[in-house]
Amino acid sequence: MAMNTSNQIHSESSILILIDLQGRLMPAIDHGEDVLNQCIRTAKIAQLLEIPIIGTEQSPSSLGSNIESIKSFCSTTISKEHFNACADGLTTAIPRNRQQCILMGCETHVCLMQTALKLIDEGFDVSVVVDGVGSRRALDKKIALDRLQTAGVRLVTGEMLGFEWLMSAKNPVFKEVLVLLK
């Protein structure tokens, strides 16, 4: 799959992928509550802009399901055993008209990183929301973000992404999104 990579992120070509925000995992994540809150805020913005949202759950039989506040946003949740979600069907779950994959979740240096690298290999345009990802150790998160950026992943913040998706203050949901961003 060859694609045209744009320097801009467009809401109409984006899909939000929320990786492994599971109840048994989140308490162990460095700044886990901040990560979760950013994921929820971004999911609310995606919903307002009609951007599809897919969730993944790593070994849910041992780690449990995604936190309910995350699960409720996802049109699809992929249960997986591989760290790279593509190996368990993520790429086939992504609608054909959505080439810009926006990734958030845990752990930055394991499932999120391996999924992002495979999505790049498959020809997708990949962005990671840096304030919406976490690892148990801060160093693992930092090194994973460095590696992802070197591999061609676009690093963004939640606020940067929200305004980029909006494109204009004339967007019909601008005021609702602005409340979430501020």
Question: 41-100 pLDDT, tens per residue?
Answer: 999 999 999 999 999 999 999 999 999 999 999 999 999 999 999 999 999 999 999 999
Confidence band of 4 (pLDDT split at 50, 70, 90)? low
How crowded is residue 106: how many other Cβ atoms within 10 Å of its Cβ?
29
Beta bridge partners of 55: 18, 77
| 114-160 pLDDT, tens digit each | 999 999 999 999 999 999 999 999 999 999 999 999 999 999 999 99
In this structure, the strands spanning 76-80 and 100-106 are unpaired
Q: Which two tokens mark 145? A: 């973000």
Confidence band of 1 (pLDDT split at 50, 70, 90)? very low
What's the pLDDT at 6?
A: 77
Query: Using alpha carbons only, what angle is made at residue 120 by residues 48 and 17, rounded to the nearest 5 degrees?
Result: 30
Nearest to 110 by CA among 138, 130, 140: 140
Which numeric CATH code is attached to 11-181? Answer: 3.40.50.850
What's the pLDDT at 2?
A: 43
Give yes or no for a contact between 53 and 11, defined as CB atoms under 8 angstroms apart.
no
- Domain coordinates of the chain in residue numbers? 11-181
Cα(110)–Cα(100) distance, integer angstroms: 21
- Through-space distance between the first and last CA atoms of the chain, rounded to whole angstroms: 38
- State the DSSP code for 66: B
How crowded is residue 7: how many other Cβ atoms within 10 Å of its Cβ?
6
What's the pLDDT at 182?
A: 85
